């Protein structure tokens, strides 16, 4: 028995097969602080949306006070799921969507112009019956993605490294791999400026001035992150300053809607029951809130004074109900979100990821600043939503998709290279 035991061949041990992670999945853990900031802002936004909208919904949605809140909550839940799923994917796979995404966004912006005006004179939404979406929201992400991809791919040409500087070669274009490769930094600037201007121009034709400004500003930020020669930004600043002065002094040069809004901003007595109505009541709401607010749900201005308080002017209701101190606290959350996104971008494993993360959070920060500027009458009322607060399914979904992309970048920044 003992001999048989000694002569017995040892049984080969079964080795556990390690499951191989699919290539399209990201490694590492997400930036928890950034995620918590997103959830915090989103939660406060949903609470304030319900508070701001229930009176308007009761009178305009057949007595259903929770109409806007229920719909926004559905988009929020779906958006958070999408955010978490996207955070698990490798963000560099988005490169294949850069050019097609821009072309699709242009197509949608053209389609919305062909369709009948969805609200008054505005061509901003495409109605699919069960769902309405705003192509300009898609265009914002498309511009960020396209610029991040192309500027990363052409970085050496942008900064002027390893380039033949002969007179013949200077300024030459060549078609390579289906993409435009430009050997001169000025032509690089023109190429990206053309793409950004075409996108902004299509948005402007929708009677969407704030969206136009936002697209242009995002484009300039992306060119800065892409290290376009700094002296060209002096030229951009001069052109922008001259354009602003011309249009402010001569608002009639703009299309009728935008011109009237600028006139109302300059002349505080202009059309108090029309173009100035929202702004005036917004200022009343902010002043009524004082330091500590009237209390959640106790706004008076939302009772059909601030028209559609769940949209662009929701921050006025925030100030009225929560007060100046808590409103500043909410602004601080946005500042922290932008700061953390920049940190994620600086730690990214490549330039593409860095430009994606920083471009997205700068877009959120810029849109927030523009909205607060409009609500406080610091800027003309051009119609711009407050991220995570204002009612709008397309806007909220796109924001949460963008947050998922930033979280995906953060996974790679937490993995040792």
283 within a domain of the structure (yes/no): yes
* Model pLDDT, residue 45: 96
Percentage of residues in the chain having pLDDT higher than 70: 81
Q: If you average pLDDT over residues 175-203, what whole number do you get?
A: 73
pLDDT 10s digits, 41-52: 999 999 999 999
Q: Is residue 207 part of a domain?
A: yes
Tell me if 119 is assigned to some domain: yes
pLDDT for the residue 27: 54
Residue 333's CB: how many other CB atoms inside 10 A? Answer: 15
Arithmetic mean of pLDDT, 161-173: 43
Please report whether residue 9 resides in a domain. no
pLDDT at 148 > cutoff 90: yes
pLDDT digits (tens, 9 = 90+) for 343-362: 999 999 899 999 999 999 99
pLDDT of residue 286: 93
Q: Residue 416: which pLDDT band, with cuts at 50, 70 and 90? A: very low
411/123: higher pLDDT: 411
* Residue 15 covered by a domain: no
pTM of model > 0.95: no
Whether the CB-CB separation of 339 and 332 falls below 8 Å is answered with no
Q: Would 128 be classed as within a structural domain? A: yes
The angle, 0 to 180 degrees and rounded to 10, between the axes of the packed helices 209-225 and 351-375 is: 150
Name the token pair of 207.
């009677």
What does the pLDDT look like over 235-284, one tens digit per residue?
A: 888 888 888 888 877 777 776 677 777 877 877 776 666 778 888 888 99
Establish how many alpha carbons lie within 13 A of residue 394's alpha carbon, considering only the half-sphere containing its beta carbon. 18
Domain-located, residue 157? yes
Condensed to tens digits (0 to 9), the pLDDT of residues 64-77 reads 899 999 999 999 99
pLDDT of residue 189: 80
Residue 60 has pLDDT above 80, yes or no: yes
Buried b / exposed e over 195-213, threshold 16 CB at 10 Å, is bbeebbebbbebbbbbbbb
Whether residue 32 is contained in a domain is answered as yes
Per-residue pLDDT reduced to its tens digit, 369-408: 999 999 998 988 877 899 999 998 889 999 999 999 999 9
Query: How many domains does the chain contain in total?
Result: 1
Question: How far, in Å, CA of 72 to CA of 390, rounded?
Answer: 9
Domain housing 253: 27-413
pLDDT the model gives residue 12: 52
């Amino acid at each position: 028995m003992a001999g048989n035991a000694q002569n017995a061949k040892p049984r080969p041990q079964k080795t556990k097969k390690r499951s191989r992670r699919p290539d399209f999945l990201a490694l590492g853990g997400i930036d928890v602080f950034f995620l918590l900031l997103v959830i915090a802002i989103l939660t406060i936004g949903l609470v304030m949306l319900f508070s701001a909208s229930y009176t308007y919904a009761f009178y305009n949605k057949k007595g259903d006070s929770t109409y806007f809140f229920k719909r926004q909550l559905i988009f929020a839940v779906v958006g958070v799921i999408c955010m978490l799923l996207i955070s698990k994917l490798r963000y560099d796979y988005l490169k294949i969507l850069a050019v097609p995404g821009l072309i699709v966004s242009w197509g949608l912006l053209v389609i919305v112009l062909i369709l009948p005006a969805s609200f008054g004179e505005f061509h901003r939404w495409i109605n699919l019956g069960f769902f309405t979406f705003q192509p300009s929201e898609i265009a914002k992400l498309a511009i960020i993605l396209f610029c991040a991809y192309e500027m990363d791919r052409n970085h050496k040409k942008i900064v002027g490294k390893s380039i033949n500087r002969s007179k013949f070669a200077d300024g030459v274009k060549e078609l390579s791999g289906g993409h435009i490769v430009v050997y001169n930094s000025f032509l690089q600037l023109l190429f990206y400026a053309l793409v950004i201007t075409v996108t902004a121009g299509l948005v402007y034709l929708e009677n969407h001035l704030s969206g136009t400004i936002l697209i242009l500003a995002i484009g300039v930020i992306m060119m800065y992150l892409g290290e376009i020669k700094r002296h060209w930004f002096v030229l951009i600043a001069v052109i922008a300053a001259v354009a602003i002065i011309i249009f402010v002094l001569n608002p009639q040069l703009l299309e009728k809607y935008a011109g009237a809004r600028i006139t109302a901003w300059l002349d505080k007595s202009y059309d108090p029951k029309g173009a100035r109505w929202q702004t005036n009541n917004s200022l009343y709401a902010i002043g009524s809130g004082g330091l500590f607010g009237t209390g959640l749900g106790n706004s008076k201005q939302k009772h059909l004074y601030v028209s559609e308080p769940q949209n662009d002017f929701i921050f006025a209701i925030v100030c009225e109900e929560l007060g100046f101190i808590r409103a500043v606290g909410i602004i601080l959350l946005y500042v922290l979100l932008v700061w953390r996104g920049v940190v994620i971008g600086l730690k990214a494993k490549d330039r593409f990821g860095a430009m994606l993360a920083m471009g997205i959070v700068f877009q959120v920060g810029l849109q927030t600043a523009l909205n607060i500027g409009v609500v406080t009458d610091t800027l003309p009322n051009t119609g711009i939503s407050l991220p995570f607060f204002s009612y709008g399914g397309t806007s909220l979904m796109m924001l949460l998709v963008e947050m998922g992309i930033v979280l995906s970048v953060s996974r790679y920044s937490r993995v040792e290279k």
